[in-house]
Structure 1
Amino acid sequence: MRTRSRLLAILLAALGLPGVLITPIPGYAAPVPGETTTSDNTVARDYTAAGQLATSGSDQCGLPLAARKGAWLCLSQTTTRTQPRTRPTAVNGDVGIQSGVCSALGCYYYLDNYYVYFDGTGVYGYGGTHLGDLYFYVEDKFSGGRSYSQRFQFESTRGVRTLAATGERLYFSTAHPEGYPISSGASQQGWGPYGPYAAGTLVTAFGTTGYTYYDSSVAWAGIAHEFTWTDPSSAYPGRWYAWWKSPKFQKQSSGAYTTTNPPTMGSNWYGSGYSPF
């Protein structure tokens, strides 16, 4: 009888009838009001070595716009949006001068031994068409072995059909100076994909809670972040992505994880590109 009721609930949900509770897919954050889930439940991990081998898109950035072929995502280029868009939550008023480490994608800034934030930009397109300018932001904090990635944000000057995000804890070692997923990927969490979103919408992945995870087993800890999105037009298929990894946080005798001023980064700590899948 329970099986029959379950089948009936699934049928009613498929028909879109009211009064049916739909359970979110495990590992995915439920949408906030105004967000719509999509049928594509892929959570990208392009920050891993395997993911980087399967993607491309930056090879066109050295060419004039009119000469570019296929999809591309370029860093360290002039964008049309005003910077900075946000201020760290812990700071009232002007941020002032912060100690930071910068890349082509953006910069990580030190606020205190347990707290850093990232601010980044990019430009993406297809062939000779400049589609949109991008903005990325996150605040990373540690409290003991628990990490928090809050205000995990994305914005594009062009609307997107779908948007998804990934958070995952890393460890750093001599064998993995780039940072490697802990516990065979058990800490990975996905948000979305949700959409569509209109141009200029500042989207916060994982809601106000952010991506959070507890682990105190490693000597050097970090966090991987990724956004991946698709275009509303069928003329521009595939997905674009951007990822970055937090500074290294070292475990202290007290059990606390702390970073340095300025932050100490692992190798290969940021990237972006395009995938046809």
Structure 2
Amino acid sequence: MDYKTKIGLVATDLDGTLLRKDKSISREDLEMLEFLGEHDIVRVVATGRNYRKVKEVIPDGSPFDYVAFSSGAGIYDCKSGEIIYRQNIAVETVNQIAAVLVAKRLNFYLFRGVPDNSFCWYYRGGKLCEEFERYYSFHHEYASLLEEGVPLESDACQFLVIFESPEDFSELKTEIEAHFDTIKVLRASSPLETGYVWMEIFHRSVSKGNAIQWICDRHNIPHHSTFSIGNDYNDLDLLDFTSISYMVENGPDELKHKYLKAPSHQESGFSNSIRNHLFD
């Protein structure tokens, strides 16, 4: 059977979707990835992780064709070993947004432009934030202090602002989007599973969905044969783009009704959902 007539491209989020709690991939899911490759179905990781963080869990030689990292700010071609797409925030806008966040004394990180976005600047706000400090403890060797009043001289991939409540997130999102028409604001749940709300600020053209569109155009893959699976708010652009879209059982309850239902990341939701369409 020509399975490509049913699914031409499969895109999956990593944390909380393909990766289990111990950051491993189940045997069933790995076997499905190999099967997809054998039938020339394009396999894409679509993740909020930067590429260095992707390689911690998806080493070279893993059964993928592309990695859309940093929520689609960059695309890595696994066959050629090259970054083939990048989209950063212009330096003028970077400095303007940073000034707003500093004036509000918020805790945030600012990541350098792709391909150097493994490195970041950090700014400690006026209120101690355990999540900010926890993140710093994991990434301090890649982080430099953002000096107040000293403008940056290069573009950047994204901002990460950490909040304790969704209300604080919504208030700043409204303000930022009203003043900057070249950026977009995304919400993500903390991958550390602490209950904090993460705000990610990107160039307006950056999204997992746009990255998949770019790959589809490259391979002439029709929209009706696109498949994706995710687990969180920052997967919405991806799930809303693809024709076949699943959310795993461990996703937020308020989002599940919008998409097809898959078992949790602990129960190989990735391969189970694909079987529904390839072998029905």
TM range (shorter): under 0.3
TM-score (norm 2): 0.22
Structure number with higher strand proportion? 1
TM-score (norm 1): 0.22
Structure number with higher helix proportion? 2
